[in-house]
Amino acid sequence: MQLETPGITKQFLSGGAGIGLSIVKKIVENHQGIISVESKLGEGTVFHIYIPFLQH
């Protein structure tokens, strides 16, 4: 497979440019939430996102 736009296409095929988690982090911080991470070698990674619920 020949890539015409090696930088962008290669990033896309390998899972993206890596900015998704940083965007999520910023959104969670803006809502005074937290992110926790669990990772097990050979099994995968789980991100837990907590955002406070406010009732008015």
In this prediction, residue 56 carries a pLDDT of 72
What is the Cα–Cα distance from 3 to 12, expressed in whole angstroms?
11
* CA atoms of 40 and 16, how far apart (whole Å): 22
Supply the pTM of this predicted model. Answer: 0.59
Residue 3's pLDDT is what?
42
Quick: pLDDT tens for 1-56: 344 445 545 555 566 666 788 888 899 999 999 999 998 888 888 989 999 988 77
Task: Domain ranges for the chain, please list them.
Answer: 6-50
Token pair of 31 as six digits: 């809502």
Pairing, β 34-40 against β 44-50 = antiparallel
